[in-house]
Amino acid sequence: MVIERETIGTGAPSTCLDCDVKLAAVVMLSPAGYYVGTQCDCGPYSRESQYYSTEKKALEALSSKEYTR
């Protein structure tokens, strides 16, 4: 379940309120796996997608813009 304004897709700001960086979706890696998220100068900002088992699957989701939480 995604909480309203938890992701950019559900209304979170698209610019970091602390460092003023415009956020863009990229593939990121965490201990849970690869995901589509955003990052600013402060660090990771949001997780926009589910986790993927491979970087290739996450890149495919990003390029097709077919990702959800």
| Domain range list for the chain | 8-64
CA distance 55 to 64: 14
Q: Does residue 33 have a pLDDT over 90?
A: yes
Q: What kind and span of H or E run contains 47?
A: strand 43-47
In 7-54, alpha helices (H)? none
**For 33-48, what is the mean pLDDT?**
95
Check residues 9 and 52 and name the one with the higher pLDDT.
52
Return the number of other C-beta atoms located less than 10 Å from residue 8's C-beta: 18
CB 46 within 8 A of CB 7: yes
Residue with tokens 């890696």: 29
In this prediction, residue 4 carries a pLDDT of 83
